[in-house]
Amino acid sequence: MGYGSRSEMAQLAKAGRITLDGTALSSASGRIKVTPDLPTRMKIDGQPIDPVAGLVMLLHKPLGMTCSHKEAGPLVYDILPPRWRQRTPAISTIGRLDKQTSGLLLLTDDGALLHRVISPRQHVKKVYRARLARPLDGTEAALFASGQLMLEGEAKPLAPAGLEVISETEARLTVTEGRYHQVRRMFAATGNHVEDLHRESLGGLSLPDSLSPGQWVLLTEAQIALIFQ
């Protein structure tokens, strides 16, 4: 879980910094049954431990950060507690937002959940707010909804997508696919250019107004279920 090596955890226990049900564990040699409520019962330095497995968080991704483990420059993983980099299995983003896109981003160590969310069969809706370089010409909504728009370099048309006009240069787009730079390429196909892009929601999950760029929150089981609504 990334809290430390076996010897480091033994030292924490001897120092009385690990508690279970309010009682300090003087030794790290005992065996403790892993139950769903363990994170609420066990604390390190007074703080509840992280979920043992199935960690799912919602991050307000800032601009300028990439969803990669290896690329140069600021990474979304830099925002997370350092111990989370040591977790096994590793934490990964559920899909990606490019460097110049902000908004709702999910991360997890649950591989089954990750693949379920990104599977085309699930048709999970993703809502983006886009600010455009040029005014909309009024033909975009019908084109995006037609299910016939073909992106350059691809052999299969896009699934129907919904467009809500906010102003002459701003729109909200709802898609159910996750193709490479899809939203930017859709507007490029109409002769326009996306200047700012922000993801507002994924499935039934919306980005909380209280969550500033760079902040994250762990999701409950009920909130995770909202993804598929």
What are the residue numbers of the active site? 98
Cβ(173)–Cβ(144) below 8 Å = yes
**Closest to 32 (Cα-Cα) out of 49, 15, 11, 7:** 49
**Closest to 54 (Cα-Cα) out of 229, 224, 226:** 224
**Single-letter amino acid code for the residue at 145:** A
Q: What is the DSSP string of 78-140?
A: GGS-GGGGG-SSPPEESS---TTEEEEEEEES-HHHHHHHH-GGG---EEEEEEESS---S-H
Pairwise CA distance, residues 223 & 76, whole Å = 21
Between the CA atoms of 48, 52, 56 and 58, what dihedral angle is there, to the nearest 10 degrees? 20
DSSP state of 227: G
DSSP state of 228: G
